[in-house]
């Protein structure tokens, strides 16, 4: 039986006060997003923002030669399209679907109108943006200073935090593109994790077998990002 979809499966929408949620709810449109689908290209204005509920969106920096590296992940905890309410309108990054699933989209102008009311939505989106900046900064640090094994552990844990299951459909080629490394390196690192009994990898499907083991193996970057998201977004306004 298919799971019932509700906009409040997205954390940001769930913590909105009732009056602000009720203004947005009639305009939220459920969309199905496919693996590899692009939501925005570098330098383009997004007509919509997206609130994922069971999918993951990757924010990527793309180089002139076509190579790319992921700077952040967005799942049910967040929103894709911060440039629309931050005033810049466009961004040099690209947003693609890393894990297929569903999201609710909202016209950008409607979000900006509600944001400019300077109510709880504005406060919540600014808090989320701070958390997202932390993730981007920590990703840059991790990619420079930590081993590929640790980077992969961080990436897996952040991905699983944003999915309702412990399984991720993702090829090693795509993971390599996300991390900005060679596929052979990902093959070796994933093989080490599988031999250690932490993950199972087969035919493009990664299952987490021992989450606590991954958390012991990962660098401090994962904890820094998670702590900041929890600090900034684990609060609830009275409806």
**What is the average per-residue pLDDT within 159-188?**
81
pLDDT surpasses 90 at 217: yes
DSSP reduced 3-state for 25: helix
- In the chain, the DSSP E strands lie at 29-33, 38-40, 48-52, 56-62, 68-74, 93-99, 101-107, 167-169, 199-202, 205-208
Model pLDDT, residue 106: 97
Q: Which helix (H) or strand (E) holds 193?
A: helix 183-195
pLDDT surpasses 60 at 238: no
Give the pLDDT confidence of 143-172 residue by residue, as tens digits: 889 998 998 999 999 998 988 888 888 777
User: Which pair of tokens denotes residue 83?
Assistant: 């440039």
Could you tell me if 224 and 3 are in contact, meaning their C-beta atoms sit under 8 angstroms apart?
no
CA angle 165, 169, 170 (to 5 degrees): 135
Model pLDDT, residue 1: 45
Model pLDDT, residue 186: 81
Beta bridge partners of 33: 101
The DSSP symbol for 7 reads: G
Model pLDDT, residue 187: 83
Q: At what angle do helices 183-195 and 148-161 cross, to 10 degrees?
A: 70
pLDDT surpasses 60 at 218: yes
**What is the average per-residue pLDDT within 172-191?**
80
The DSSP symbol for 17 reads: -
pTM over 0.85: yes
Could you tell me if 149 and 187 are in contact, meaning their C-beta atoms sit under 8 angstroms apart?
no
Model pLDDT, residue 219: 92
Model pLDDT, residue 235: 52
Model pLDDT, residue 18: 93
Candidates 127, 80, 76; CA nearest to 229 is 127
H helices of 95-171, in order, are 108-115, 120-145, 148-161
Domains of the chain: 7-142 (2.60.120.10), 147-218 (1.10.10.10)
d(CA 155, CA 144): 15
Give the pLDDT confidence of 66-102 residue by residue, as tens digits: 777 889 999 999 999 998 888 877 777 889 998 899 9
Give the pLDDT confidence of 8-65 residue by residue, as tens digits: 999 999 999 999 999 999 999 999 999 889 998 877 888 999 999 999 999 988 877 7
Model pLDDT, residue 236: 46
More confidently predicted of 190 and 62? 190
Averaged pLDDT of the chain: 88
């Amino acid at each position: 039986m298919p799971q019932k979809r509700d906009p409040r499966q997205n954390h940001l929408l769930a913590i909105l006060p009732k009056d602000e949620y009720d203004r947005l709810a009639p305009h939220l449109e459920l969309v199905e997003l496919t693996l590899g689908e692009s939501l925005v290209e570098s330098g383009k204005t997004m007509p919509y923002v997206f609130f994922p509920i069971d999918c993951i969106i990757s924010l990527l920096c793309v180089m002139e030669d076509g190579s790319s590296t992921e700077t952040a992940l967005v799942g049910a905890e967040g929103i894709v399209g911060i440039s629309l309410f931050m005033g810049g309108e466009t961004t040099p990054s690209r947003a693609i679907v890393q894990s297929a699933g569903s999201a609710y989209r909202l016209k950008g102008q409607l979000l900006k109108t509600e944001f400019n009311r300077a109510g709880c939505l504005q406060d919540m989106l600014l808090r989320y943006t701070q958390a997202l900046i932390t993730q981007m900064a920590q990703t840059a640090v991790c990619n420079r200073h930590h081993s590929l094994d640790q980077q992969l552990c961080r990436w897996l844990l952040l991905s699983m935090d944003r999915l309702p299951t412990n399984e991720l459909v993702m090829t090693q080629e795509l993971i390599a593109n996300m991390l900005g490394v060679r596929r052979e390196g990902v093959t070796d690192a994933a093989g080490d994790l599988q031999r250690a009994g932490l993950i199972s990898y087969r035919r493009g499907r990664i299952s987490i077998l021992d989450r606590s083991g991954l958390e012991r193996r990962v660098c401090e970057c994962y904890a820094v990002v998670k702590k900041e998201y929890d600090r900034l977004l684990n609060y609830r306004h009275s409806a």
